[in-house]
Chain A
Amino acid sequence: MSRVRTPGILRGLTAVASALVLSAGLAACGGEDSASGEDSKSISIGIPSGWDEGIAVSHLWKSVLEDEGYDVETETADIGVIFTGLAGGDFDVLFDTWLPTTHKSYLDKYGDDLSDLGTWYDNAKLTIAVNESSPAKTIADLKAMGDDYGNRIVGIEPGAGLTKATEENVIPTYGLEDMDFVTSSTPAMLAELKSATKSGDNIAVTLWRPHWAYDEFPVRDLEDPEGRLGGAEEVHTYGTKDFADRYPDLADLFGSFTLTDEQLFSLENLMFNSGDDVDPEDAVDQWLEDNPTFVDDLKEKAGVS
């Protein structure tokens, strides 16, 4: 084995050395000086598939960072996979961590290897939603009105926090055991919603705010008088453990980043509801055109030039 190992170590050292030389070279020729040191100039964003606000915001930042001269890589994967990758250093940042409830299980697992870079949206929540024209007003109504909804609640991924909350809290509390709670996947749930909207059938789904489905389909939330789906949630930006050391400027920028409902919904609408095949990049360009001061305001707030 040792015959193999030595060149391996040498190769590794050479790679590290050349990376150091390269990054030193890059640092020398690019980037503004900031008090806390130099930002690395390439960054990798993990995009959680099916989490549309995360997809939208990741593309927004990709565009903004590229304009700032960063080399941005994005990779789309299942949210669980992204947390694993972030903890392992495969990704540098994830813009879509829901706290305190939804992603708690991931943070229990990987929290020690991650850093919280700030909250950009604090009006998120988990919901059970029904079509506007249906009778139920609160989740408790479903117990008696199950038949009106085909005795089904359409769920998302079986491993999702929302699914867990529905199974463990909502169904037992409101006595909905007689309804069939079908787990599938986010796209399948949305396809059902679309299909029910077209055919005029009543439907109950597990959903969350912010989501473009509220603009696309005539749905409303059921009240949750017992608060079993948890209160409002915050959406945080999470980075690798050493994020602030490697990207001091960006840590400031992400820390100051917030979106209003209006801003987020308009971005999601441009990206997901403009009908024909809109490129996420085009949607972001359009949105930045509609919000011309967004980047400058943000930089000013973060004290980053």
Chain B
Amino acid sequence: MNEGPIPRIPLGDWVENVVDWVTDTFDPVFDVVKDILSGAFDLLSEALLAPPFWLMAGLLVVLAVLAAGWRTAVVAAIGFVVIAGVDQWENAMKTLALVLVASVIALVIAIPVGIWAARNDTVSAVVRPVLDFMQTMPAFVYLIPVVVIFLTGVVPGIVATVIFAMAPGVRFTELGIRQVDAEIVEAGQAFGAPPRRILRQIQLPLALPTIMAGVNQVIMLALSMVVIAGMVGADGLGRDVYSALSSIDVGTGFEAGIAVVILAIYLDRVTAGLSARAPVAKALATART
């Protein structure tokens, strides 16, 4: 197969060996991770599906009122009726559970890493290319080793979603903290505040709107992975979209697709509304008027 001056680099073989080694070595760890993830997903999706449709939709609409106001809530209410009307409510709640579980995990990892990267230039320099890699490597590439490790079902879907959706959480957190006015931080230091307290009481509150924008992005990216999660056996809207593709069923594909859109609009407006309610954002808004 060699034509040309460059010898064949056995990169693929190396990766395969690494994946084999990881699979064998960390097998017990993966089992625990698997149980935790599938347990969390089952719990959440059952909780979302336990109350009847009108009650659950009502709760979500109330949340929308509190977070983003009446207009969003009305749109959400109409959207939920549409989802239920095309018989996708159960799938939508499963997808919501997957997105929430994956987003929470991604944020639990991303925000501390972002804080660390903001306070340490070396970490920042190391983390950046890793994030680039995680965001641009086609999902199909790491999907198969993830299936080998976690088998098919909802767990590989969650893992792949976490890998893909984590990056903006890290980037926005780092950016938010780095953008906090140095003079304010110095003032804190002048009053003798230890670094931890400066982080907690100055940097994080001031960076909160930016961090919340990151949270919003993480959730949106997680939602964009639902079809790929469906390909490895995750329940929900993604499976119906994927199934519609392999059976050329335009109708079902669109019904599941529109449910994804409605969920996306809902999650986007609610998280954006929450970040607009952060004290700093309120103060900025007042300052502008």
Contacts and interface: CB of A to CB of B under 8 A. Distances in A.
Contact of A81 (B151, B153, B239, B245): B245
B142 to A, nearest CB: 12
Contacts of B233: 182-184, 188
A196 to B, nearest CB: 8
Nearest to B229: A184
A188 B147 CA distance: 6
Nearest to A195: B148
A184 B232 contact: yes
B248 interface: yes
B85 interface: no
A279 B2 CA distance: 12
Interface in B228-244: 230-233, 239-240, 242-244
B243 A159 contact: yes
Given A158-B239, A184-B231, A184-B232, A80 B152 contact: no
Contact of A78 (B13, B152, B153, B245): B245
Interface residues on A, range: 20 to 34
A80 B247 contact: yes
B155 to A, nearest CB: 11
Contact of A277 (B12, B151, B232, B243): B12
Contacts of A57: none
Given A158-B242, A182-B233, A83 B148 contact: no
Contacts of A160: 246-247
Contacts of B240: 158
A271 B132 CA distance: 34
Nearest to B10: A276
A282 B1 CA distance: 9
A184 B246 CA distance: 12
Contacts of B1: 277, 279, 282
Q: Is chain A's interface secondary structure helix, strand, loop, or mixed overall? A: helix
B249 interface: yes
B252 to A, nearest CB: 9
A284 interface: no
Nearest to B20: A198
B266 to A, nearest CB: 25
B243 A158 contact: yes
Most buried by B among A105, A109, A184: A184
A288 B75 CA distance: 63
Contacts of B232: 184-185, 188
A104 to B, nearest CB: 11
Contacts of B156: 188
Contacts of A158: 230, 239-240, 242-243, 246
B239 A183 contact: yes
A187 B144 contact: yes
Contacts, number: 80
A157 interface: yes
Interface in B137-170: 143-144, 147-149, 151-153, 156
Interface string A37-71: 00000000000000000000000000000000000
A159 B240 CA distance: 8
A79 interface: yes
B246 A191 contact: no
Contacts of A78: 245-246
A194 B153 contact: no
B152 A188 contact: yes
B152 A189 contact: yes
A195 B151 CA distance: 8
A151 B284 CA distance: 56
Interface in A10-37: none
Contact of B148 (A157, A191, A277): A191
Contact of B245 (A80, A184, A194, A199): A80
Nearest to A150: B151
B148 A194 contact: yes
Given A184-B232, A192-B151, A192-B152, A157 B246 contact: yes
Given A188-B147, A191-B144, A109 B248 contact: yes
Given A154-B152, A182-B233, A184-B232, A83 B248 contact: yes
Contact of A191 (B12, B147, B245): B147
Given A78-B246, A80-B246, 15 more contacts: A80-B247, A84-B248, A158-B239, A159-B243, A159-B249, A160-B247, A182-B152, A184-B233, A185-B242, A188-B147, A188-B156, A188-B233, A189-B152, A192-B147, A195-B148
Interface of B: 1, 12-13, 23, 27, 143-144, 147-149, 151-153, 156, 230-233, 239-240, 242-249
Interface of A: 78-81, 83-84, 105-106, 109, 154, 157-160, 182-185, 187-189, 191-192, 194-195, 198-199, 276-277, 279, 282
15 contacts: A80-B245, A80-B248, A158-B242, A159-B242, A159-B243, A182-B152, A183-B233, A184-B232, A184-B233, A187-B147, A188-B144, A188-B156, A192-B148, A195-B148, A198-B23
The 9 closest A-B pairs by CB, nearest first: A159-B246, A159-B247, A158-B243, A184-B233, A159-B243, A184-B152, A80-B248, A191-B147, A195-B148
